[in-house]
Amino acid sequence: MKPLIVANWKMNPVKAKEAEELFNSVKHGVKDIESAETVICPPFIYLPLLKGLTLGAQDSYWEEKGAYTGEVSIAMLKEMGCKYVIIGHSERRKYFNETDEMVNRKVKTTLEAELIPIICIGETGEEREMDKTESVLEKEIKQGLDGVDVSKIIIAYEPIWAIGTGNPCDIEEARRMKEIIQKMVSKNIRILYGGSAKANNAEGYLKQAGFDGLLVGGASLDPKEFIKIVNSN
Ligand code: PGA
């Protein structure tokens, strides 16, 4: 399978016109790249404006419709053409108090709708220092994936201390973590790396560490840098 290079735009850019320009630059730059699959996860409101690359959402709610002010359902995302949904990103866990139980419900409804969930797991710097990395990942996997057919999911290993810090995880350490996660899930599933992924380290994660793709935040807002990442395999 081709590596999956997923752009997580987070809450950017502020203007729709900028979103379209960024999207079109990426679309133009990756159109002849056959070695990877490119996925763009913009803020919800830009989804209907962007056409011509695979789309994903940054979150979803587990109910299909109803009185849930502010939420967006998986049925709506499907209607907008999304194929992937990022679930349980550390920023959602931190700022919006998302729990593993909520992640679990979101993963299940995403799979029922036949979209592909990308579940983010990862430890904080403090947890790593206290030697709790494996127990944190184990809990996130066990509770987040309880009762889930894991053959249809993607996991993103995103050490929280590496996200948006310019301090990416060492390639060899990332390789070791991938193996650990693979064992915990006990199936051969796709695992992405995320956390300060850039053009100058992408190849290391894909080739040396053996990841099946990347989840790219900051660098996905710079079309030149992002196209280089897509092209690095
Ligand atoms: P970053 O973010 O590439 O800016 O570190 C990655 C992510 O949060 O998915």
- Tell the residue nearest (CA) to atom 7 of ligand 1: 217
Contact 68, 105 (CB under 8 A): no
**140 assigned to active site:** no
Asked whether the predicted pLDDT for residue 188 surpasses 90, the reply is no
Atom of ligand 1 nearest to the CA of 194: 6
- Tell the residue nearest (CA) to atom 6 of ligand 1: 217
Dist. CA 144 → ligand 1 center (Å):
20
Dist. CA 49 → ligand 1 center (Å):
23
Asked whether the predicted pLDDT for residue 233 surpasses 90, the reply is no
Burial of 197 (0-12, 13-18, 19+ CB in 10 A): buried
- Give the 3-state secondary structure of residue 76: helix
Per residue in 10-41, pLDDT (tens digit) is 999 999 999 999 999 999 999 999 999 999 99
**CB of 7 sitting under 6 A from ligand 1:** no
How many Å apart are CA 98 and CA 100, to the nearest integer?
Answer: 7
Q: What's the pLDDT at 57?
A: 98
Active-site annotation holder among 37, 89, 91, 140? 89
Asked whether the predicted pLDDT for residue 187 surpasses 90, the reply is no
Asked whether the predicted pLDDT for residue 54 surpasses 90, the reply is yes
Per residue in 112-148, pLDDT (tens digit) is 999 999 999 999 999 999 999 999 999 999 999 999 9
**158 assigned to active site:** yes
227 φ/ψ angles, rounded to the nearest 5 degrees: -60, -40
Instruction: Report which of 114, 115, 135 is spatially closest to residue 123, judged by C-alpha positions.
Output: 135
pTM of the model: 0.98
How many Å apart are CA 52 and CA 36, to the nearest integer?
Answer: 15
**CB of 94 sitting under 6 A from ligand 1:** no
Dist. CA 114 → ligand 1 center (Å):
26
Residue 101: CB atoms within 10 A of its CB come to 11
**CB of 215 sitting under 6 A from ligand 1:** yes
**CB of 88 sitting under 6 A from ligand 1:** no
Q: What's the pLDDT at 76?
A: 98
Active-site annotation holder among 98, 126, 158, 179? 158
**CB of 81 sitting under 6 A from ligand 1:** no
Most ligand 1 atoms within 8 A of CB, residue of 41, 160, 193, 215 to mutate = 215
Taking phi first (over 0 means left), then psi (-120 to 50 degrees means alpha), and beta for anything else, what does residue 153 get?
beta
Asked whether the predicted pLDDT for residue 161 surpasses 90, the reply is yes
Dist. CA 81 → ligand 1 center (Å):
23
